[in-house]
Amino acid sequence: MDDINLQPDSIAAQALGWIDEATRAITPPIHVSSTYLRDPDNGYRSGRIYARADNPAFDQAEAVIARLENGARAALFASGMAAATAVFQALAPGDHVLAPKVMYWSLRNWLMNFATQWGLNVEFIDMTDVGTVEAAIRPGKTRLVWIETPANPLWTITDIAATAAIAHRAGALVAVDSTVASPVLTRPIEHGADIVMHAATKYLNGHSDLIAGVLITREDDDFWKRVKTIRAQLGGTLGSFEAWLLLRGMRTLFLRVRAASQSAQRIAEHFARHEHVEAVLYPGLADSHGHANAARQMHGGFGGMLSIRAKGGEAAAIATAANVALWKRATSLGGTESLIEHRASIEGAGTPAPVDLLRLSVGIEDCGDLIDDLDQALRRAHR
């Protein structure tokens, strides 16, 4: 299938149509060996040396993801954090980095508390404002611009193409955390990104049963080789069974993301008019900040993530989460089950999440059931 012009849905559903040559099996085997036989002349003609650096269990999953993102190569990691931090670790001390003020909280904390200790000069800005990006970038000194869009948990939108143009003029690379959009809705490389990151735990896998991350590169260049070396030497390598689970999950990626996006749009529109909701944060709403940019770079929907701000403040938000029956009170996103979370409680001091905000990850349940459950929870919280 590599030489056939197929739609992304078909690529994902058949996982590129690869067949195990030894058995002719459609479902791939799980390769668990940690080491490989050396040739009599001391060489490795198989191309395999040690599984920490190169595991055949990764080949198909990486090839599928690279194809879906229109990238040159992909690399699996043990978690989304392992993937994201590898990009920053591939930089040099003193390099200037721009990152968004609103972004995945764990990575923001790592940048603030660890990356700076290693000598990176990290500056957090409003990445949704092109003028702010242009003013903050330092030609010849800024090495990386990190984008997250839609950005967790406010779901703000960054114009990838405009930001990439500014970064590239200054000699900087652009990396995009596209976890929430997934390649179903946005392919950042097509908009100028150099590297794409996914917390594959989320939509790519979609079943809440593994932890994984992945990077995709536009070019198989020296920077990419450094990223791959960091993965091998620091050991942030995914397990063989997890790679197999990820590949299995990706076969239904397009069905799941489209269903979740359709439901999220309906839920956002319903609760935007709700008497107990102060505001709904969702890029699919026409009056939302960034909607025009989202409509330009997101195709087929606006994702399965939204947040609501409950009237009555923090107490009402927490009470609403306590009263749901179908929604599950849990951290994470992108699974088949719908999740609700009072995000400020999780992130703690310094969070950009207002205390009245509930983050919603919409799954694939009946949308009417999800609306009814959240509606009754909001009403009970205000009795």
Select which of 9, 36, 48, 52 is catalytic.
52
Q: State the maximum Cα–Cα separation within the chain, in Å, rounded to a whole number.
A: 79
Residue 294 tokens read as 């989202």
Q: Is 141 a catalytic residue?
A: no
Q: How many residues in total does the chain contain? A: 383
Select which of 73, 108, 187, 202 is catalytic.
202
Task: Give CA–CA dist 304/325, Å, rounded.
Answer: 19
Select which of 67, 143, 159, 177 is catalytic.
177
Q: Is 177 a catalytic residue?
A: yes
* Ordered alpha helix ranges (H), the chain: 8-13, 59-68, 80-89, 105-110, 130-136, 160-169, 182-185, 222-234, 240-250, 253-271, 291-297, 313-323, 343-347, 367-381
Q: What is the DSSP letter of 28?
A: P
Q: Is 52 a catalytic residue?
A: yes
Residue 247 tokens read as 């590949």
Q: Is 343 a catalytic residue?
A: no
Q: What are phi and psi of 279, to 5 degrees?
A: -160, 155
Of 112, 101, 175, 188, the closest CA to residue 143 belongs to 175
Select which of 104, 143, 248, 343 is catalytic.
104
Which sequence positions are flagged as catalytic?
52, 104, 177, 202
